[in-house]
Amino acid sequence: MARSASTYSTTIDGFKVETNSKYQPSGSTTYCNIFAQDVMKAMSAALPSGTANQMADALLNNGTPGWYSVTFSDAQSRANQGYPTIGIRKADGHGHCVVVRPKGSSITQLRDVQIAQAGSTNYNNTTINWSWTAADLPTVKFYTHD
């Protein structure tokens, strides 16, 4: 699949994460993993199945073919070029993952990574600082796919 920021953005937007009932939280159950898996499958970059914690385990140490770890600034740069990219953090109980989406510019601070997510609140286009606390942000790992 040819990679471009516009194709990647259109793919993310097409899932309508903010309004699609498939991704709406139900009590304490959220669907970040399902949303990320759906977007990446549509981008021909399948993620491991399972919960966010299971995905984090599978991706750790570049254990999933086609996926490799990058810094937050490289994650944004790759997304800006149209490459499927995620941020993920394993946690006790429930982990969380986000789709890194094109921003149109480079970044110098972790909190400026542009994302889409399903979670306790669903966002189609915001910054990663809405996804984790300031204390947890430095422990988020980023992965991208060619």
Residues in the chain: 146
CA dihedral 132→26→64→100, nearest 10 degrees, is -40
Contact 138, 110 (CB under 8 A): yes
Q: Residue 81, Cα to own-chain centre: how many angstroms?
A: 15
Can you give the residue range of the structural domain that contains 122? 5-145
Q: What is the pTM of this model?
A: 0.96
Question: For all residues of the chain together, what is the average pLDDT?
Answer: 96
Q: What is the pLDDT of residue 125?
A: 98
> Which carries the bigger pLDDT value, residue 38 or residue 63?
38
> Which carries the bigger pLDDT value, residue 4 or residue 62?
4
d(CA 94, CA 31): 11
Domains: count for the chain: 1
Q: What is the pLDDT of residue 57?
A: 96
Phi and psi at 138, nearest 5°, equal -65, -15
CATH number, residue 44 = 3.90.1720.10
> Nearest CA to 8 among 109, 88, 102?
102
Q: What is the pLDDT of residues 95-146, one digit of tens each?
A: 999 999 999 888 999 999 999 999 999 999 999 999 999 999 999 999 999 9
Q: What is the pLDDT of residue 104?
A: 87
In the predicted model, is pLDDT for residue 63 greater than 90? Answer: no
Residue for token digits 């399903």?
A: 118
Mean pLDDT of 39-65: 95
Q: What is the pLDDT of residue 62?
A: 85
Residue for token digits 């966010």?
A: 52
